[in-house]
Chains A and B, each alone.
Chain A
């Protein structure tokens, strides 16, 4: 799963800490997502998309590949 969180965050001049606080996760989770090491749950993905005011497809792109810890195929 690839995402544009870093870009969207930069466009809004938002820090990782701020984003983490707004969506209710830790900064480590944001860091992991930005590095494409962690795929969020559907709930968190919607929350992030909603926060940026875009569709979920504009933030996350699904690609056939071996995922990180959330891929359940470690």
Chain B
């Protein structure tokens, strides 16, 4: 078995074991991981035993090392840019939607409120209106109207919050990756 075949087998086995463990956790069956994980390890060890002896070619190792370093640099820089851009949707005012509320007192004394959402960074107007809702009588606002009102405000920011969350996830992954790199760097620094 060639090394690439072995790596492919390892990846497939790891994916299958992860899928089984995930499914069993969701289903509440804790016996499957107990069987699947050792079985996966056995299969990987069996595959490893079949791998041909690979010549440790120094040029190839050096190329891989350099390619890995370049990849790390590109991912770190690109990831940092993406994380900051996405996170800015939460903290940057021009990127957040504009939500306005207009209170109108009708002739019969009712307080009617219209809430409108406009495109981020735009001047509120009919062209930039995303959506609006009206609560006919504020004093007799029922529970469902109150829920609709709060969810309306919430949903206005939801898209930005999702982007911000994606940004924070990318940032977290990036930090973890750099921490792992640092750990390996220290390890090899001590070794050599």
B57 at the interface (CB under 8 A from A): yes
User: By the criterion CB–CB under 8 Å, are A69 and B59 in contact?
Assistant: yes
Contacting B at CB under 8 A, from A3-56, are 24-26, 28-29, 32, 38, 40-41, 43-44
B60 at the interface (CB under 8 A from A): yes
Residues of A within 8 A of B59 (CB): 25-26, 28-29, 32, 38, 40, 69-70
Closest A residue to B58 using CB positions: A41
Out of B55, B62, B66, which one reaches A26, CB within 8 Å?
B55
User: Bound state CA distance, A72 and B62, in angstroms?
Assistant: 10
Closest A residue to B61 using CB positions: A41
Please give the number of chain B residues whose Cβ is less than 8 angstroms from any Cβ of chain A in the complex: 9
Residues of B within 8 A of A44 (CB): 58
User: By the criterion CB–CB under 8 Å, are B57 and A25 in contact?
Assistant: yes
A-B contact count (CB 8 A): 31
Residues of B within 8 A of A32 (CB): 59
User: Interface size for chain A: under 10, 10 to 19, 20 to 34, or 35 or more residues?
Assistant: 10 to 19
User: Bound state CA distance, A42 and B63, in angstroms?
Assistant: 17
User: Bound state CA distance, A24 and B56, in angstroms?
Assistant: 8
User: By the criterion CB–CB under 8 Å, are A74 and B58 in contact?
Assistant: no
Interface string of B28-71 (1 = CB under 8 A from A): 00000000000000000000000000011111101100100000
Residues of B within 8 A of A29 (CB): 57-60
Residues of A within 8 A of B55 (CB): 24-26
User: Bound state CA distance, A26 and B55, in angstroms?
Assistant: 8
User: Bound state CA distance, A69 and B60, in angstroms?
Assistant: 10
User: By the criterion CB–CB under 8 Å, are A40 and B58 in contact?
Assistant: yes
Closest beta carbon of chain A to B69's beta carbon, Å: 11
Residues of A within 8 A of B62 (CB): 69-70
Residues of B within 8 A of A38 (CB): 59
Closest beta carbon of chain A to B183's beta carbon, Å: 23
Query: Which positions in B face A, CB cutoff 8 Å?
Result: 55-60, 62-63, 66
Query: Which positions in A face B, CB cutoff 8 Å?
Result: 24-26, 28-29, 32, 38, 40-41, 43-44, 69-70, 74
Q: Sorted from nearest, which 3 A-B pairs have the closest CB atoms?
A: A29-B59, A26-B57, A25-B57
Write 30 A-B pairs (CB below 8 A) sorted by A numbering: A24-B55, A24-B56, A25-B55, A25-B58, A25-B59, A26-B55, A26-B57, A26-B59, A26-B60, A28-B57, A28-B59, A28-B60, A29-B57, A29-B58, A29-B59, A29-B60, A32-B59, A38-B59, A40-B58, A40-B59, A41-B58, A43-B58, A44-B58, A69-B59, A69-B62, A69-B63, A69-B66, A70-B59, A70-B62, A74-B66
